[in-house]
A and B are shown apart, each in its own frame.
Chain A
Amino acid sequence: MEVLVLLSPLIAFLLIAFFGSRMGDMASAILCVLGGAFSFIFSLFATFKALQQPFSIKLYDFLPLDSYTLSLGLYFDHLSSITASVVTFVATLIFIYSIGYMSNLFGQWTFKFYAYLSLFLFAMLLIVLSDNLLGIFFGWEGVGLASYLLIGYFHTQKKAANASLEAFVLNRIGDWFFLFGIVASFYLFNSLSILDIFSKLSQVDKTLLGLACLLLFGGAVGKSGQLPLHTWLPNAMAGPTPVSALLHAATMVAAGVYMVARLYPMFESAPESLKVVALVGGLTALFAALAATSHTDIKKIIAFSTMSQLGLMFLALGLGDRVSAMFHLTTHAFFKALLFLSAGSVIHAFHHHVHDIYETGGLKRYMPATYGSFLVGALALAGIFPLSGFWSKDMILSTAYGVSFFWGVWVSVVSFLTAYYSFREGFVMFHGREHFREYFEEEPHESPSVMVVPMMVLGIMAVFAGFFEGWYAGLLGEHKELHLNIALLSVVVGLSGILLAYLVFVRGLIDPQKAYEALKPLHTTFKEQFFTERLYHKVLAGGYMFYSKLLYSVAERQLIDGVVNGTYSLARAAGGIFKTLQAGKLNLYALFLSFGFFVLLLISLFWR
């Protein structure tokens, strides 16, 4: 029964993949939604069961080795079942939303899109539910494949094709680490089953365990777009907006955080690795927040916000607080999906032609529902009481202050920036002058209800999910009491960020244009993500291309082709010499004949 959690998206995928062209795009979309919805219902069922008693299901043994059998199985405990429910819930809403979003593309093989979406959900559920590292790796690769296909869905656009390739390559680097992490774990524990690993944790060498953890974390870095491997995440916005929402809220990037949380006992046994996790997460959080303040693309701002929030989650994990990280992941799934869907609604209103926030403006009048959803999402993201973001971020903040004042201030700065950039986007898009009149003739209109309703539902969840904090923390571990002063600080920081954005972009207290002129180098630095993207593209990829071209022109063209062409000219020259012997004259042939006879006789004389 619980297997159907995993299988219903897979069945949907297979049906759409094989019969989608005959069923039509609408039927494929409905099938995809049904796959997600059934998966959600079954996962709720499984959650209720798992909350009583964690259980595991053996599905299939596919490779018996000497001492261990590689198998596929599911393990439902509190963490995995709740995460599966959240993932399927958000994913189902996004699927419904995508019917409206993609409606203008129906009839253009859009069933492929739904097949990929189902595959994406299936792979993510495999990561969430698998009881061993190999299953996680399968899902890991499946997520990478589906993300590649979906980011590059508009494959006729060069930007999208490049973005999908970049995502694939950077994920590949992460996956490489992850694979070696799995190999190291197997070497250490002689087992890939998560429960086996947890039971043997005290018996292994701490240094090697730390190494294995770092390798596994390298996979999470690639998947979650953390600092060294982050450039694909903003560029992945070239895909359709439901994909971005799915990627950022429910599946892909959450996989990294979830994996670290799932294997958290391993990381806890090797505390040195947690410091790396914290450092990477903290750096990414600030870095992405700064980048988000300067970007103007509707979706890229939210993408950087995701990076920043994931960085906060990794920071919380690194500081030893799994509960707040996972809770933030859950609430973040709701409000980030909400933000993306609202942004997609705006883009849909402009028929996918407008992607810059400064080309919109004043949309409050035209799209009240979208405005409301965006406002709720942004407030939750900013961490304003009593929305869900407040509770989860508050937990992280209190953990950070609990560990050291430095990290507390760090998280506060990130929170301030988060509030600022999210409301900057909101104010520019929905208030102020209607810039879109210069680019766009029609009046923008509210999105159809098939898109609005999922936004509403997600909005409700984004508001109320925070109240489950106590319950969730109690399930996963210790429950921390709220410190009033930290809660106050968090709200004040969030409000001040909103205030700054309000003053600048609504009141016009500081002219953004003048500020931009004044702070241009800083702005450029942030916008270029501290030039990391340029570094990767120009220096690493460009250098690789340069050396490839160099090798092509020297080694390939000169050396190898030289040898090949040299063979030709050598053969030609040799033929030129030898053909004079074969002059076609009968007498010369007779001469050679007699010479051959001479040699044969010579041999017969001396070979007796």
Chain B
Amino acid sequence: MKTIPLEAYLIVSIVLFGLGVFGMIVRRNLVTVLMSMELALNAVNVLFVGADSHLSLVDGQIFALFIIALAAAEAAVGLGIIIAIFRLRKVDSTDEITDMRG
């Protein structure tokens, strides 16, 4: 059985990652920024798993598992923060929480 070459996974991963980064930059809503981040994380997962099938390893899959776990934690904490911010400030877009500006 001929497997899909690594380069194909690479292309998909890079496209997804770039879109994730672009989304993080241009999105105004906090929740959508967080979702763009999930996109980037998934791109990394694709790369790990693709490299695994290319190299006949399983370490990448384990890392992908870890990333999924961390993404879950990150989503939990990040969404908790968003809810807290919203409760305190009644805002949900990034240009309204600029207290840390110099």
- Verify whether A and B have any Cβ pair under 8 Å: yes
- Is the CB–CB distance between A587 and B101 below 8 Å? no
Q: A585-B94, A586-B33 are in contact. Are A579 and B101 (CB under 8 A)?
A: yes
Contacts of A586 in B (CB 8 A): 30, 33, 94, 97
Residue in A closest to B95 when the chains form the complex, CB atoms: A585
Which chain B residues (17-35) contact chain A, with CB distance < 8 Å? 21, 24-28, 30, 33
A584 & B100 in contact (Cβ 8 Å cutoff): yes
Interface centre among A578, A579, A584, A586 (most CB of B within 10 A): A586
Q: How far is the CA of A591 from the CA of B28 in the complex (A)?
A: 13
Point out the residue from B21, B30, B97, B98 that lies within 8 Å of A594, measured CB to CB: B21
Tell me, yes or no, whether A1 is within 8 Å of chain B by CB. Answer: no
A window 582-608: CB within 8 A of B: 582-587, 590-591, 594
For B37, the closest partner residue in chain A by CB is A590
Interface of A is mostly: helix
Q: Is the CB of B26 within 8 A of A587?
A: yes
Residues of B within 8 A of A470 (CB): none
A562 at the binding interface (Cβ < 8 Å): no
A575:B25 contact, CB within 8 angstroms: no
Rounded to whole Å, the gap between the CB of B54 and the closest CB of chain A is 21
- Which among A579, A584, A591 has the highest number of chain B CB atoms within 10 Å? A584
Return the contact of A583 from the options B21, B28, B33, B98 (Cβ within 8 A): B98
* Mask: chain A, 553-576; 1 = CB below 8 Å from B; 0 = not: 000000000000000000000010
How many interface contacts (CB-CB < 8 Å) are there between A and B?
A: 37
Q: Mark B1-41, 1 if CB is under 8 A from A, else 0.
A: 00000000000000000000100111110100100000000
Q: Which of B62-102 contact A (CB under 8 A)?
A: 94-95, 97-102
Which of under 10, 10 to 19, 20 to 34, or 35 or more describes the interface residues of B? 10 to 19
Q: Given the complex of chains A and B, what is the CA–CA distance between A585 and B99 in angstroms? A: 9
Query: A residues within 8 A CB of B27?
Result: 587
> Chain B residues with Cβ under 8 A from A585's Cβ?
94-95, 98, 101
Task: Give A575 to B101 CA distance when docked, in angstroms.
Answer: 12
Q: What are the residues of chain A within 8 A of B99 when measuring CB–CB? A: 584
Whether A587 contacts B102 by the Cβ 8 Å rule is: no
- Minimum CB–CB distance for A573 against chain B, Å: 14
Are B21 and A579 in touch, CB under 8 angstroms?
no
Instruction: Please name all residues of chain A whose beta carbon is closer than 8 Å to the beta carbon of B94 when the two chains form the complex.
Output: 585-587
Which of A579, A582, A587, A591 interacts with B33 by CB under 8 Å?
A587
Alpha-carbon separation in the docked complex, A582 to B100 (Å): 8
How many angstroms from the CA of A169 to the CA of B30 in the assembled complex? 76
Among candidates B25, B98, B100, residue contacting A591 with C-beta atoms closer than 8 Å:
B25
Residue from A582, A590, A591 within 8 A of B101 (CB atoms)? A582
Q: Which residues on B sit within 8 Å (CB–CB) of A590?
A: 21, 24-25, 33
CA–CA, A28 and B97, complex, Å:
79
What chain B residues lie within 8 Å of A578 (beta carbons)? 102
Chain A positions within 8 Å of B97 at CB level: 584, 586
B102: chain A residues at CB < 8 Å are 575, 578-579, 582, 584
Q: How far is the CA of A120 from the CA of B66 in the complex (A)?
A: 89
Contacts of B100 in A (CB 8 A): 584
> Would A584 and B25 count as touching, CB distance under 8 A?
no
Residues of A with C-beta under 8 A to B26: 587
Chain B residue nearest in CB terms to A586: B94
A residues 57-93 touching B (CB-CB < 8 Å): none
CA–CA, A575 and B21, complex, Å = 28
List 13 other contacts, CB 8 Å, given A583-B98, A594-B25.
A575-B102, A578-B102, A583-B101, A585-B94, A585-B95, A585-B101, A586-B30, A586-B33, A586-B94, A586-B97, A587-B24, A587-B27, A590-B25
- Chain A residues with a Cβ under 8 A of chain B: 575, 578-579, 582-587, 590-591, 594
Cross-chain pairs A/B with CB under 8 angstroms, 16 sampled: A575-B102, A579-B101, A582-B101, A584-B98, A584-B100, A584-B101, A584-B102, A585-B94, A585-B98, A586-B97, A587-B24, A587-B26, A590-B21, A591-B25, A594-B24, A594-B25
Closest 9 CB pairs of A and B: A584-B101, A584-B98, A579-B102, A582-B102, A586-B94, A590-B24, A584-B100, A591-B25, A583-B101
